[in-house]
Chain A
Amino acid sequence: MELALIALLGGGLALDATSVGQFMLSRPLVAGALTGWMLGDPALGLLIGTLLELYLLVSFPSGGAQFPEGATATVVAVATASASSTPGAVPVAIAVGLLWGQIGGFSITALRKANGFIVPEPADSLRGTELIAAAHLAAVGLDFFRGVLITGTGVAIGRMVVARVGAPWPLGERESFALVIAGAAVSVGILLHDLGGFRKRRALFVTGLALGIVGARLL
């Protein structure tokens, strides 16, 4: 029952990424917290969501680009982490989430190819306008089904993996967290590159860095 509910949540959040609204409920930060709430541990959900948000900062649903899917990846990662209380749970969940984000991205590409067969073309018989609405909403439904399937499969596999490797994980909690953060630092660097690069933004970046360090010491 819990797996079905998580899969439905994944399907709903997957819709938000491109098909419906784009209110950013599908961003890892939000998807993680929502999954955590559903599983009774919102703090863990937000922790995983924050870490995946760092990784996926530079990934967004732009035009026809193929991108890792953050929503299903986050739901899968939080559900994976929640199945184990060992220090290995978080890094293993992040690895599963990153992998599943890629699989989700491939499934979106496949869905978009399938949509090409569903939608009417200008030369087709439209039977009034009913066909347009029916085809469009069918494609939305297909995206939801895709999200449910990807999430459900990911959670089942992720929980099996964390049950096997979570307990014998050799690193402590701090080192495990640092390992994940170090990997995410690449994305933060890419983001600064996208925002104009170090040369152009160095004054603001260094000011922010100083504020962050001082703020961290004060809090």
Chain B
Amino acid sequence: MSALSRRAIMSTFMRSFLVQGSWNYHTMLGTGFAFAMLPGLRRIFGADAKAMDASVRRQLDHFNAHPYLVNVALGAVLRLEADGADAQTVRRFKTAVQGPLGGLGDSLVWAAWLPMVSMAGLALWWIGLPVWVVVGLFLVLYNAGHLALRVWGLRSGLRYGRDVARTLREARLAQLGERIKSIASLLVGVIAGLVLAGRSGLSEAGLLWVVVAIVCFVLGLLVGHRIWRPAAIGTVCAIVLIAAWGVVR
């Protein structure tokens, strides 16, 4: 651990923003993971080219995780390498940690934090706030959580190494996700109310459009993701047909 300088850690942190840059179906994040680890590994292995080469090859292996929580793995693997862990330990750790990091990140960020902040941004637009306020608040709020998660992940990984799984459990990220989803559910209701009764709302276009929108909403609620693509295609087809009607009439 003492082999790692603040500069090397900062460099790994900055490179973690590009961890998905070469995402592919073969090694997934493998190359990005190795790319982010390079500054730390150079610091750990110094002039020992053979050890450096062996470590870099370990990092190139297949790996996948959520792009924000990948910092937990980056920190922990740096700690393992600095402590002189053998190749099998590093590989086993990476294999064990990738599933939980992916699942936790997806449920916390993509399924809770992003929808909640997006709904908040949409509500602000609907109540008529200026463009720069809506966009600014969306970006500041979203990235406050985003950056906090990245910093916390790298620090936890570096501090606890292979024991970082316990830290993940203690952080209660899943419970945090549930709370965020509750707020997002409230905001979904707010948006529905604003769309129905707000400025340029559906009620101004007539009862027929209110009924159509409610039917569409219930369809999405009952069927879930399977209906998204057919609904998008249906919307595009409806617009094309109306446009064609306008052209030929």
Chain A residue nearest to B125 (CB atoms) is A50
- A135-B30 Cα distance, complex, nearest whole Å: 12
Given A190-B225, A195-B115: A121 in contact with B189 (beta carbons within 8 A): no
Within 8 A of B (CB), among A172-205: 174-175, 177-183, 185-198, 201, 204-205
Give the residues from 111 to 164 in chain A that come closer than 8 angstroms, CB to CB, to chain B: 112-113, 115-116, 118-123, 126, 128-129, 132-133, 135-140, 143, 164
The CA-CA distance from A80 to B131 in the complex, in Å, is 20
Nearest-CB residue, chain B, relative to A177 = B200
CB neighbours (8 Å) of A207 from chain B are 186, 189
Q: How large is the interface on B (under 10, 10 to 19, 20 to 34, 35 or more residues)?
A: 35 or more
Stretch in B3-11, B161-169, B213-221 with 4+ CB within 8 Å of A: B213-221
- With both beta carbons as reference points, the residue of chain B lying nearest to A99 in the complex is identified as B236
Known A98-B235, A183-B238: A208·B192 in contact at CB below 8 Å? yes
Q: Is the interface of A mostly helix, strand, loop or mixed?
A: helix
A29 touches B134 (CB 8 A): yes
Query: Counting CB contacts under 8 A, is A103 at the interface?
Result: no
**Interface size in chain A (residues, C-beta < 8 A):** 106
Name the CB-closest residue of A to B237: A95
Q: Which residues of A contact B60 (CB under 8 A)?
A: 120-122, 132
- The answer to whether the Cβ of B97 comes within 8 Å of any Cβ in the partner chain is no
A136: which of B18, B196, B232 is its contact (CB, 8 Å)? Answer: B18
Distance, CA A191 to CA B190, complexed state (A) = 13
B190 touches A215 (CB 8 A): yes
Chain B residues within 8 Å of A, Cβ to Cβ: 17-18, 20-28, 30-32, 34-35, 38, 42, 49, 52-53, 56-58, 60-61, 64, 67-68, 102, 106, 110-112, 114-115, 118-119, 121-123, 125-128, 131-132, 134-135, 138-139, 142-143, 146, 181-182, 184-202, 204-206, 209, 212-214, 216-225, 227-228, 231-232, 234-236, 238-240, 242-247, 249
